[in-house]
Structure 1
Amino acid sequence: MIRFSLVCEQHHEFEAWFRSSEDFEAQQKRGFIECPSCGSSKVDKGLMAPAISTLQKKEKIALARDEAQKQALEAMKAMAAKVRENADYVGDKFAEEARKIHFGEADQRGIYGEATLEEARNLADDGIDFMPLPTFPEDQN
């Protein structure tokens, strides 16, 4: 990912992230980049200073990222454990049971289980709220 400093025809400055310089150019040509201040799609790259990073700075960033990732992982594990403790496991009948609850054919309650990708898409298309429950390596043992 590359962060570009951008400027519109009205001289508003802003930043945006792109996969590559070519990605920026393709979006620019198609008018997909708009100034958040005025909405102009006439946007060019502005002056940018190179980002210089020392090894020590990279190590600090990596440590902070590792710590943030650990905290996020622990939060996800805690959330998954809470769902499993407080919801009913319905196995491969998840989609069917979620529909029954949604349409009032079964009592409101938390459930979890398995659904195929097609079943999940159909639930989403029907406006039924659900979210994937993460599975961790230690859950597989």
Structure 2
Amino acid sequence: MIQYTLKCAGGHAFDSWFQSADAYEKLHAAGMVACAVCGGADVTKAIMAPRVSAARSRADSAPATSAPATSGQGALTAPASPAEQAIRLLREKIESSSEYVGMSFADEARAIHEGSAPERAIHGEAKPAEARRLIEEGVPVAPLPFLPHRKSN
């Protein structure tokens, strides 16, 4: 296992574990590495210092403890800015008050618009061409500023 410090185009820094350096490269090339904060796919490795521990004597066998990050840089428990906090709250609201329909979003949105499916709030995924067709057909849709949880690292 290898841990990388990553950063996205939005300036978010976060850590992620990979099975190997090759595994990271394959996932990154396939577009499967996304920002843990905003979901952006434009992610690169950040400069990081190697973790090298000094040799310890047998008498000093107490486990080393690392202090938690106090600067907030890379912390995944709390958003680093008011904008990130607003996106997190929006995500929570959307996920709690609508149904996730996955990749069948375009078909489901169209069926609701035509009246052949029950009226309800939905969210999901659509290819750009499908989303464009929905807009051209007058189906009310809007892109969300985050990716589904299953695509987060």
TM-score between the two structures when normalised by the length of structure 1: 0.47
TM-score between the two structures when normalised by the length of structure 2: 0.43
